[in-house]
């Protein structure tokens, strides 16, 4: 039961990105205690979301290619 095999990597990778976003927000909240916290957390969140979208596109293009190689008979 559960998630099908090709999507396990997608699920685990997405969980890793979510954990990275949360950890970065916590660390930036500690490091930047003044008014810059909001900007740093927003910048880091946007950076991770864009990296996640790029990773999703690459992962899915490798799992389900649009062009499938054709076998030719010798």
Distance between CA atoms of residues 65 and 73, nearest Å: 22
Domain that holds residue 57: 5-63
Residue 9 covered by a domain: yes
52 has pLDDT over 70: yes
Q: Give the 3-state secondary structure of residue 74.
A: coil
Residue 69 covered by a domain: no
27, 11 in Cβ contact below 8 A?
A: no
Overall pTM surpassing 0.75 (yes/no): no
- Of the candidates 29, 30, 33, which has an alpha carbon nearest to the alpha carbon of residue 42? 29
Residue 12 covered by a domain: yes
Tell me, rounded to whole angstroms, the distance of Cα 25 from its chain centroid. 16
Q: How many domains are contained in the chain?
A: 1
45, 17 in Cβ contact below 8 A?
A: no
Q: What is the mean pLDDT of residues 23-46?
A: 77
Structure confidence at residue 1 (pLDDT): 47
33 has pLDDT over 90: no
Distance between CA atoms of residues 74 and 64, nearest Å: 27
């Amino acid at each position: 039961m559960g998630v099908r095999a090709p999507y396990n990597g997608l699920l685990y990778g997405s969980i890793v990105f979510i954990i990275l976003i949360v950890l970065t927000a916590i660390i930036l909240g500690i490091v930047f205690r003044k008014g810059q916290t909001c900007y740093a957390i927003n910048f880091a969140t946007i950076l991770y979301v864009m990296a996640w979208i790029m990773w999703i596109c690459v992962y899915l293009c490798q799992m389900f290619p649009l062009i499938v190689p054709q076998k030719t008979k010798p």
